[in-house]
C-alpha cells in the first residue's frame, strides 16, 4: 500500500519559528539535544544489549567493555533518532504525541539536528571500531542506516508493514551485545534477535491503536489505521505466539538453563493472556478506554525487561 506524504504546513514555517526564537536558554538547549536522542527508547535498547554480554561471557563481562558498548550504543541510537526527527519534522508538527519535539518547538533548528545526528553516527561508529571491535561497529552503523533509510525514509509512509520490517533496526543491539564480547556470531544472539523481531509489532501496534487518529491525520499507514481492531488484534496474537515459542529455543540448544526457561514460560504466558484478552475485547467491538490496548503495550516493556534480566542471571545458576 502506497501513501502520498502530506503537506504539513507552508514551507519554511519550522525554520522561521526556529530563527524567531532569539532567546533560547542554554539549559533548555542542552535538554533539547538530549531529547533528540530519545533517551527512553535507548534505555530499552540497552536492556537488550547488556544481558546478552553476560550470556556471551557466561558470567560477568569486562566492565570497561560494557561501558564502551553502552556509550557507543547510546550515541549510535541517538544519532538514528535525531535523523529520524529531522526527516519526520513535517508530520511531527501535526501529531499530538510529537508536537513538543525540539524541531517542532524551534528549540533546535533542522540544520543543527541534521549535523548532530550525523556527528553521533560517525563518532559512535569510530568508538565501536577503535575500542570494541569492527564487527560491532558495522552492526551498529547498519542498525542506524536501516532505521533512518529503510524504515523512516522508505517504509514508514508507504506500507502498513512498516513496523514489522523497520523494527529490524531495534533487534540489532542483541547482535551487537554478543559481538562486542566474542567478535563473532552464534545461534544464541540470532534467537534473541528473532524474539525481538516478533516482539516489536505486538509491542507497537497497541500504541498505534491508541493514537491511530494521529497517524491517519498525517497519512502514515500504521496497521491500526488501515485495518479494523479485530484484524490488528489477530495479528498481535499471531506474532505473540511465535515470539513466545522462539524465546523457548535457547534452552534445548544448550544456551540457557532452568531459570531462563521458567521466566520465559511465566512471562510469555502472561503476555499471551493479555494478547488474547485484547483480541476478545476487539471481537466484542469494544472501543475507547474499555479496549484497554495500552495494557499490552505497558506489559510488553516489562516483559522484555524481565526476559533479558533472566538472560543475564541464568549463567550464574547453571
* 263 and 313 share one domain: yes
* 125 and 206 share one domain: no
Residue 22 covered by a domain: no
User: CA nearest 296: which of 249, 229, 250?
Assistant: 229
Which residue would you say has higher pLDDT here, 25 or 302?
302
Q: Are 37 and 74 in contact (CB under 8 A)?
A: yes
**Single residue among 183, 210, 238 that ends a domain in this structure:** 183
Residue 133 covered by a domain: yes
* Distance separating alpha carbons of residues 271 and 242, to the nearest angstrom: 12
pLDDT of 242 over the 70 cut: yes
* Distance separating alpha carbons of residues 69 and 132, to the nearest angstrom: 7
Q: Counting every residue, how long is the chain? A: 318
What cell does 193 get?
534477535
Q: Are 199 and 62 in contact (CB under 8 A)?
A: no
Res 5: pLDDT = 34
pTM tops 0.95: no
Q: What interhelical angle do 168-182 and 39-57 show, nearest 10? A: 40
Interval 250-290: pLDDT, tens: 999 999 999 999 999 999 999 999 999 999 999 999 989 99
What cell does 246 get?
522462539
The rounded radius of gyration (Å) of the Cα atoms in the chain is: 20
Res 144: pLDDT = 97
pLDDT band at residue 12, thresholds of 50, 70 and 90?
very low
CATH (domain of 74): 1.10.357.140
Res 41: pLDDT = 87
* Distance separating alpha carbons of residues 238 and 54, to the nearest angstrom: 30
Q: How many domains does one find in the chain?
A: 2
Res 25: pLDDT = 87
User: CA nearest 192: which of 179, 175, 180?
Assistant: 175
Residue 30 covered by a domain: no
Res 20: pLDDT = 46
Average pLDDT, rounded, for the chain? 92
Res 44: pLDDT = 87
Sign, CA torsion 294/295/300/305: positive
User: CA nearest 303: which of 247, 257, 255?
Assistant: 247
What cell does 73 get?
550504543
**Residue 189: what are its φ and ψ, rounded to 5°?**
-65, -30
* 172 and 191 share one domain: no
Percent of the chain with pLDDT over 90: 88
Count, in order, helices (H) and strands (E) of the chain: 16, 0
| pLDDT (average), residues 203-230 | 95
* 190 and 110 share one domain: no
* Distance separating alpha carbons of residues 213 and 283, to the nearest angstrom: 20
* 192 and 286 share one domain: yes
User: CA nearest 140: which of 42, 59, 32?
Assistant: 42
Q: Say which residues have a Cβ less than 8 Å from residue 271's Cβ, sequence separation at least 6.
A: 240, 243, 244, 296, 299, 300, 303
Interval 27-68: pLDDT, tens: 899 999 999 999 988 888 899 999 999 999 999 999 999 999
Q: Are 242 and 198 in contact (CB under 8 A)?
A: yes
**Single residue among 183, 200, 222 that ends a domain in this structure:** 183
Res 26: pLDDT = 87
Read off the DSSP letter of residue 255: S
pLDDT band at residue 23, thresholds of 50, 70 and 90?
low
pLDDT of 2 over the 70 cut: no
pLDDT of 17 over the 80 cut: no
Domain range for 151 is: 36-183
Residue 18 covered by a domain: no
* Distance separating alpha carbons of residues 233 and 23, to the nearest angstrom: 47
Could you give the maximum distance between any two Cα atoms of the chain, in Å? 62
**Single residue among 158, 183, 208 that ends a domain in this structure:** 183
Residue 27 covered by a domain: no
Res 318: pLDDT = 83
* 195 and 277 share one domain: yes
* 166 and 211 share one domain: no
Residue 54 covered by a domain: yes
* Distance separating alpha carbons of residues 187 and 243, to the nearest angstrom: 16
Q: Are 230 and 282 in contact (CB under 8 A)?
A: yes
The CA-based angle 128-74-94, given to 5 degrees, is 135
Residue 9 covered by a domain: no
Res 56: pLDDT = 97
* 202 and 177 share one domain: no
Which residue would you say has higher pLDDT here, 20 or 76?
76
User: CA nearest 171: which of 182, 181, 150, 154?
Assistant: 150
Interval 92-131: pLDDT, tens: 999 998 999 999 999 999 999 999 999 999 999 999 999 9
| pLDDT (average), residues 76-101 | 95
Amino acid at each position: 500500500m502506497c501513501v502520498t506524504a502530506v503537506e504539513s504546513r507552508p514551507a519554511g514555517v519550522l525554520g522561521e519559528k526556529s530563527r524567531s526564537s532569539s532567546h533560547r536558554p542554554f539549559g533548555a538547549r542542552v535538554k533539547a539535544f538530549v531529547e533528540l536522542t530519545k533517551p527512553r527508547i535507548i534505555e530499552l535498547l540497552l536492556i537488550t544489549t547488556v544481558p546478552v554480554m553476560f550470556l556471551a561471557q557466561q558470567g560477568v563481562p569486562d566492565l570497561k567493555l560494557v561501558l564502551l558498548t553502552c556509550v557507543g550504543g547510546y550515541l549510535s541510537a541517538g544519532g538514528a533518532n535525531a535523523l529520524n526527527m529531522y526527516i519526520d519534522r513535517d508530520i511531527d508538527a501535526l501529531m499530538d504525541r510529537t508536537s513538543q519535539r525540539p524541531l517542532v518547538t524551534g528549540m533546535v533548528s533542522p540544520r543543527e539536528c541534521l549535523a548532530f545526528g550525523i556527528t553521533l553516527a560517525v563518532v559512535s561508529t569510530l568508538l565501536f571500531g577503535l575500542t570494541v571491535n569492527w564487527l560491532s561497529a558495522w552492526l551498529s552503523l547498519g542498525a542506524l542506516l536501516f532505521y533512518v533509510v529503510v524504515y523512516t525514509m522508505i517504509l514508514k509512509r508507504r506500507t502498513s508493514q512498516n513496523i514489522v520490517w523497520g523494527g529490524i533496526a531495534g533487534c540489532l543491539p542483541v547482535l551487537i551485545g554478543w559481538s562486542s564480547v566474542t567478535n563473532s556470531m552464534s545461534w544464541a544472539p540470532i534467537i534473541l534477535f528473532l524474539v525481538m523481531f516478533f516482539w516489536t509489532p505486538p509491542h507497537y501496534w497497541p500504541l498505534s491503536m491508541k493514537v491511530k487518529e494521529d497517524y491517519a491525520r498525517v497519512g502514515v499507514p500504521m496497521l491500526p489505521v488501515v485495518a479494523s481492531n479485530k484484524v490488528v488484534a489477530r495479528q498481535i496474537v499471531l506474532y505473540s505466539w511465535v515470539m513466545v515459542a522462539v524465546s523457548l529455543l535457547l534452552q534445548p540448544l544448550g544456551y540457557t538453563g532452568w531459570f531462563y526457561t521458567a521466566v520465559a514460560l511465566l512471562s510469555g504466558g502472561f503476555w499471551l493472556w493479555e494478547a488474547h484478552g485484547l483480541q476478545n475485547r476487539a471481537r466484542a467491538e469494544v472501543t475507547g478506554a474499555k479496549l484497554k490496548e495500552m495494557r499490552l503495550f505497558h506489559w510488553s516493556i516489562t516483559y522484555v525487561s524481565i526476559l533479558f534480566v533472566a538472560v543475564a542471571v541464568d549463567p550464574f545458576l547453571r
